Amino acid sequence: MIEIQNLSKRYGDLIAVDDLSLHVEAGELLVLLGGSGSGKTTTLKMVNRLIEPTAGRVMIDGQDVGGIAPYELRRGIGYVFQRVGLFPHMTVGENIAISLTLLGWPPPRIRDRVAELLELVELSPGVSADRRPSDLSGGQQQRVGVARGLAAAPHVMLLDEPFGALDPLTRDRLQQSFLRIRKQLELTAIFVTHDMAEALLVGDRIGIMRDGKLIQIGTPRDLLRSPADDYVRQLIETPMRQAQVVDALLEDTSS
Amino acid sequence: MIEQLELLPGYLTAHLQLTLFALLIGTLVSVPAGVLITRHRWLEQPVLGVASVIQTIPSLALLALMVPALAALGFRSIGFFPAFIGLVLYSVLPILRNTVAGLNGVDEALVEAARGVGMTPGQRLRRVELPLAMPVILAGIRTSTVWTVGVATLSTPVGAPSLGNYIFSGLQTRNLVAVLVGCIAAAALALVLDGLVWALGAAVLRRRQGWTRAVLATIALLYLFTGATLVAELRTSNTDQVVVGAKTFTEQYILSEIMSAHIGTVTGAPTRILSSLGSTVAFDALRADEIDVYVDYSGTVWATLMQRHTTATNRAEVLAGVRKFLHDEHGIELVGSLGFENAYALAMPRAQAKALGVTRISDLTAPAATLTIGGDYEFFGRPEWKAIESAYQLQFDEQRMMDSSLMYQAAGSGQVDVISAFSTDGRISAYDLLVLDDELGAIPPYDAIILAGPRLVRERPDVIAALRQLTGTIDADHMRQMNRAVDQDGAGVTSVAEQFLREIRD
């Protein structure tokens, strides 16, 4: 369980995150949604201390993350981000196993775990662990990125627009894979996106951020039924309206 | 040719000692410094600035500057160490700059990924940043390797033998074979070492473990071999060997061979010649007991070290003054005069002198404004030149500095009109030059004198006695003849020296 309490981040006069509090239940996936500059990524990065907060604190399973050495904290948290960041001088297998290597797992155990993960992210049998990341397509690379985040069986996952740079078809396939995996592993996760359709698809609850503040948090149904303001209403109505347009088109052509 | 190639193993080993260890230390300093700079940004400008300034110092000057610098700090100031430290300083910039560029060039997404998976700063550096920056860092090491091999040829004047000995002595004695052997050997060495670093990089990058091991083993063997020879040399250099010094011109090479062979025959002491030393380096080396004996010229000590500017001094007076000065100020003994003078003299082509009606320096006062004078690197900065200029009111149209070995040819072929010749040089007659009379005595006398260092004076009276036997044995004609035999007729320095010793013993 993740508990964020009165978290703030200031850069000089600029307030990136403003007194934000929320919690994520064990096994729950919370989506943070907002435009660029809304503070969603900054909030995410303060959870694994890639960014240090100006004020407030983050607790994971009742423990203040500020009291854990950053590198130890991060080894227990899966992290996947849009720019993937696979190490080009390592093989696919070495990339997936990096946190296991850092944790000092013996090589045979690492090999087994890598095979298991390649299967989990649906790369096996097509992609061998000996390949270089540069040999893979963008979608395959991000599957490796997800596998790397999952390697040490973390109880918390942080995902920063993980599928944002992929083409729509690839994105759809990865979203489906991800949904299956998170159900299978019962992940506790925070998922950052600016895409409402994706948020509705993957999130148990959605937190909407604007100018560093959390404006509303709730299930998709809550947001649809009682949006807190016009901004939230617009955000949530956009995918609906698009779906209606598509439906209408389909009816036209079928009649 | 064969004579030259026999010298190759010694010079090549010495060259390897300098370059390999300078590169090793240079790399061990620069890579960590580069890492430090990228962790502490404010250091980047100052550190790179200092390294760049060092790089802009001309390499010959940088190596020569190490001599007084080391002497001031109380270290051994001649030979391996000044050259080595100069080369280390010179090797730093390319490696440092490329380390910084390589680390700065690592994609920020990868740095974030490294942090995100839980690497400590040290792990991030070792596992991600350094491996990714490696090709750029290796490129810097390759640049540095080629530079260092080249610059190491300039170690010769500070008393460290290298492939530069071929080049320096070859240029002076007009032995083009020696110059070519030196240049080709240095170029080949640069290519081989550069190739080794390239091979290492390629092997590591392509993850060929066998290949990597083979290259590493080759490099390790090179280091082991040169390291062993270096240690052996540094150990034996403290024995009772007598070290004979020579500056960078033919006469000095011949005289050092004569003294070395004579000491060996008479006393049985082992001797070693350290040749092509810079002019002031030779004196500093003698004072510091880095060399034991060499030949200098009374007027040089008089004008340059004692800073006397009086004109019209006689030979005996200058000799006595120099003897007292060296003994009192530096504990150096003037063992004796060899019997000839090698003075600075103004000389010009005989035909041109005749046409202008010039026989004395004072005859130049009027036509100087239309004439060009050529001098060696030291001449125009020396007090003697100032004395000549003011005594005779000389205002030449142009002054050109050139290597002393090229001066005579330049005068002979009319590219300059007047040169600062050395009176014993065989090329004065070879190019039919006229030595102009210094009737005002602006140029002091330059008796060739054997100088012995403090240690030799204290510990080896037998060697001093042997050297004293050479007093008065060489007159100016004889010296000129020997110089000419080497410079014009292509005789070997050693054989000229041997022949001389045979003659005086008969």
**pLDDT tens, position by position, B257-270:** 999 999 999 998 88
Give burial (CB, 10 Å; 0-12/13-18/19+) of A182. Answer: buried
- Residue A139 C-beta-side C-alpha neighbours within 13 Å: 16
B131 vs A contacts (CB less than 8 Å): 89
Q: Which helix (H) or strand (E) holds A189?
A: strand A188-193
Q: With a CB-CB cutoff of 8 Å, which residues 101-120 of chain A face chain B? A: 102
- Residue A111, helix vs strand vs coil: helix
Predicted local confidence at residue A91, as pLDDT: 94
Cβ-based neighbours of B236, under 8 Å, separated by 6 or more: none
B299: amino acid identity, one letter: G
Instruction: Single out the residue of B153, B159, B448 nearest to residue B280, CA to CA.
Output: B159
B110 vs A contacts (CB less than 8 Å): 85, 87-88
**Shortest Cα–Cα distance, B116 to chain A (Å):** 6
- Mean pLDDT along residues B427-432: 86
Two tokens at A71? 């590198």
A74 vs B contacts (CB less than 8 Å): 115-118
Question: What is the rounded CA–CA span in Å between residue B165 and residue B169?
Answer: 6
Q: Determine contact: A65 vs chain B, CB below 8 A.
A: no
Q: With a CB-CB cutoff of 8 Å, which residues 116-155 of chain A face chain B? A: 148
A71 vs B contacts (CB less than 8 Å): 118-120, 123
Which 8-state DSSP code applies to residue B424? T
Instruction: Place B380 in a pLDDT band, splitting at 50, 70 and 90.
Output: confident
Q: Kindly report the number of other CB atoms within 10 A of residue B81's CB atom.
A: 18
If you compute the radius of gyration of chain B from its CA atoms, what whole number of angstroms results?
27
- Mean pLDDT along residues B162-189: 90
Give burial (CB, 10 Å; 0-12/13-18/19+) of B120. Answer: middle
Question: Under an 8 A CB cutoff, do B109 and A83 touch?
Answer: yes
Buried b (16+ CB within 10 A) or exposed e, B41-67: eeeeeebbeebeeebeeebbebbbbbb
Instruction: Place B312 in a pLDDT band, splitting at 50, 70 and 90.
Output: low
B112 vs A contacts (CB less than 8 Å): 50, 81, 83, 85
Of A71, A85, A98, the CB nearest to B112: A85
Predicted local confidence at residue A72, as pLDDT: 92
**Shortest Cα–Cα distance, B126 to chain A (Å):** 12
**Shortest Cα–Cα distance, B24 to chain A (Å):** 26
Question: What is the rounded CA–CA span in Å between residue B331 and residue B323?
Answer: 10
- Mean pLDDT along residues B62-69: 84
Question: Under an 8 A CB cutoff, do A87 and B110 touch?
Answer: yes
* Owner of token pair 């003294």: B259
Which 8-state DSSP code applies to residue B303? I
What are the DSSP calls for B188-239, one per residue? HHHHHHHHHHHHHHHHHHTT-HHHHHHHHHHHHHHHHHHHHHHHHHHHHTTS
**Shortest Cα–Cα distance, B208 to chain A (Å):** 13
Question: What is the rounded CA–CA span in Å between residue B359 and residue A178?
Answer: 102
Residue B237 has pLDDT above 70, yes or no: no
Question: Under an 8 A CB cutoff, do A73 and B114 touch?
Answer: no
Question: Under an 8 A CB cutoff, do A85 and B113 touch?
Answer: yes
Two tokens at A245? 């347009």
Question: Under an 8 A CB cutoff, do A79 and B123 touch?
Answer: no
Of B109, B118, B128, the CB nearest to A71: B118
B59-72 vs B80-104: helix axis angle to the nearest 10?
120
Give burial (CB, 10 Å; 0-12/13-18/19+) of A159. Answer: buried
B127 vs A contacts (CB less than 8 Å): 87, 98
Q: Kindly report the number of other CB atoms within 10 A of residue B460's CB atom.
A: 20
Of A50, A72, A89, the CB nearest to B116: A50
Predicted local confidence at residue B217, as pLDDT: 96
Q: Which domains does chain B have, with CATH numbers?
A: 2-236 (1.10.3720.10), 242-339+450-505 (3.40.190.10), 344-435 (3.40.190.120)
- Mean pLDDT along residues A2-6: 96
Two tokens at B431? 């190019």
How far, in Å, are A62, A160, A161, A194 from residue A40 at the CA level? Answer: 22, 9, 10, 9
- Residue A61, helix vs strand vs coil: coil
- Mean pLDDT along residues B29-46: 93
Q: Determine contact: A89 vs chain B, CB below 8 A.
A: yes
Residue B65 has pLDDT above 90, yes or no: no
Question: Under an 8 A CB cutoff, do B117 and A102 touch?
Answer: yes
Q: Kindly report the number of other CB atoms within 10 A of residue B406's CB atom.
A: 15
- Residue A203, helix vs strand vs coil: coil
On whether the CB atoms of residues B72 and B125 are closer than 8 A, the answer is no
Question: Under an 8 A CB cutoff, do B113 and A89 touch?
Answer: no
Question: Is the interface score ipTM higher than 0.95?
Answer: no
pLDDT in tens, A161-175: 999 888 989 999 999
- Mean pLDDT along residues B236-244: 76
Closest chain B CA to residue A149:
B117
Instruction: Determine what percent of chain A is predicted with pLDDT higher than 90.
Output: 73
Closest chain A CA to residue B113:
A85
Average pLDDT value for chain A: 92
Question: What is the rounded CA–CA span in Å between residue B29 and residue B21?
Answer: 12
Question: Under an 8 A CB cutoff, do B118 and A99 touch?
Answer: yes
- Residue A108, helix vs strand vs coil: helix
Of B116, B117, B118, the CB nearest to A72: B118
Q: Kindly report the number of other CB atoms within 10 A of residue A232's CB atom.
A: 20
Predicted local confidence at residue B239, as pLDDT: 63
**Of B117, B120, B130, B204, which to mutate for an interface test with A (greatest number of A Cβ within 10 Å)?**
B117
Question: Under an 8 A CB cutoff, do B113 and A75 touch?
Answer: no
A201: amino acid identity, one letter: L
Distance of CA B464 to the CA centre of its chain: 27
- Among A246-250, B10-14, B448-452, the minimum mean pLDDT is found in A246-250
- Mean pLDDT along residues A221-245: 88
Q: At residue A139, what are phi and psi to the nearest 5 degrees?
A: -65, -40
Of A73, A89, A102, the CB nearest to B119: A102
A84 vs B contacts (CB less than 8 Å): 109, 113
Question: What is the rounded CA–CA span in Å between residue A57 and residue B289?
Answer: 71
Question: What is the rounded CA–CA span in Å between residue B211 and residue B208?
Answer: 5
Interface A:B, Cβ pairs < 8 A: 56
